[in-house]
Amino acid sequence: MTDKNTVFHEKKTINAGGRLLDLSSPCVMGILNITPDSFYPGSRTASADEALRHAGKMLAEGAGILDIGAYSSRPGAADISEQEEQSRLLPVIKALAREFPEAVLSVDTFRAGVAEAAVAEGAHIINDISGGQLDDAMFPAIARLKVPYILMHMRGTPQTMTSQNRYDNILPDILKYFSEKLAELRALHVHDIIIDPGFGFAKDAAQNLFLLNHAEQFKLLGLPVLAGLSRKKTIWQTLGTTSDEALNGTTVLNTVALLKGADILRVHDVKEAAEAVKLITALKSTSPANCG
């Protein structure tokens, strides 16, 4: 799908705390989990110092955004209080903002209170797995904070979502969900929005692969699209391996996502994702005129 045969204008810039995030070339978002139980052990950090070291490595490898989460959203993860989430998260946000003042910081939370506290400490983007469904105060908070919002599709909660993957027609159902949520956000004058289809959230492996195979349809919404496929069960279950062995499979599916128009890759392994972006960007830029 190219600009000349679409009937909408696709938004390619996001204002993140006064920083203009240009998504005309795809961006890599590095995952930084301040949790003891995220599904991939390699993403877990136990202290602010460890988080700083991991963040510095990801930024050096080409991360354009760091996504920091203190609440594990893996299927069946234990629920924690808002107070515990903030106590894990806020010291790390404060340290990252001090140590890497040019970095764009995203916070992975579905709680409006956590979002507000994180922005006060220096966060620039809110990444909400629930699309505002787990906290009615989230959309008004985003409107007040005037920060970019990542709107993801999910059903239920991390504790219940695996049982909520029955759809009448999955692609139209999810597009309808996004259309309705976007209308709510725009009524509140929220316009810096990124779409995330929610791979792995209330979707089984076959559904995830189907959505990826048709991911260009999400471009019809005219907004940047984030693909979060990194080391997820769809990959290692299909290959008969584990999350530890899912890097190659992640790179394969990230490459497909880029070819389908993804603007942001949310990943555990920044170097490999940045290389995929570089190669796909070069591939798309080739023409008979510069091929000799």
Indicate which residues carry an active-site annotation.
232, 266
Beta-carbon contacts of 278 under 8 Å, excluding residues fewer than 6 positions away, are none
Q: How far apart are CA 2 and CA 277, in angstroms?
A: 18
At CA 55, angle to CA 76 and CA 269, rounded to 5?
60
Q: How far apart are CA 262 and CA 221, in angstroms?
A: 13
| Distances in whole angstroms, Cα of residue 1 to Cα of each of 11, 13, 30, 215, 220 | 15, 19, 27, 11, 10
Tokens of 19: 């920083």
Helix, strand counts (H, E) of the chain: 9, 10
Q: Under the phi-then-psi rule, with left for phi > 0, alpha for psi from -120 to 50, and beta for the rest, what region is 200?
A: left
Beta-carbon contacts of 10 under 8 Å, excluding residues fewer than 6 positions away, are 3, 219, 222, 223, 224
Helices (H), the chain: 48-61, 82-99, 112-120, 138-145, 170-187, 205-213, 233-239, 247-259, 270-285
How distant is the alpha carbon of residue 264 from its chain centre? 7
Run of H or E residues at 228? none
Longest dimension (CA), the chain: 61
How far the first Cα of the chain sits from its last, in Å, is 26
